[in-house]
Amino acid sequence: MGKRVWNLNPGPAVLPEAVLEEASKAVLEYEGKGMSLMEMSHRAKEVDKIFKDTEADLKEIMGLGDDYSVVFMGGGASLQFTMIPMNFLHDDQTADYVNTGSWSQNAIKEAKLLGKVNVAASSEEREFTYIPKIFDLSPDPAYLHITTNNTIRGTQYHFDPDVKVPLIADMSSDILSMRRDFKKYSLIYAGAQKNLGPAGVTVIIIKKDMLERVKPGIPTLLSFKTQVEKESLFNTPPVFPTYVVGLVAKWIKSQGGLAAIEAGNRKKADLLYGCLDEYSDFYRAPVNKEDLSWMNVVFRLPSEDLEKKFLAEAGEKSLIGMKGHRSVGGVRASIYNAFPYAGVEELVSFMKAFAKKEAGIGV
Active-site residues, by number, are 103, 170, 194
Q: CA dihedral in degrees (122, 123, 125, 129; nearest 10)?
A: -170
Cis peptide before 139, with omega less than 30 degrees from 0? no
Distance in angstroms (rounded) separating the CA atoms of residues 75 and 80: 8
> How is residue 73 annotated by DSSP?
E
Distances (CA, A) of 24 to 11, 14, 36, 54: 20, 15, 10, 18
Q: How far apart are CA 289 and CA 50, in angstroms?
A: 41
Alpha helices in the chain (DSSP H): 17-28, 45-62, 76-88, 102-112, 224-229, 239-255, 257-278, 304-316, 341-359
Orientation of helix 102-112 relative to helix 76-88, angle to 10°: 40
Sequence-distant (≥ 6) Cβ neighbours of residue 172 within 8 angstroms? 11, 77, 103, 149, 151, 189, 190, 191, 194, 195
Q: How far is CA 235 from CA 87, 158, 215, in A?
A: 19, 37, 21
The pairing of beta strand 68-73 with beta strand 202-207: antiparallel
Task: Give the distance from CA 63 to its chain's centroid.
Answer: 18
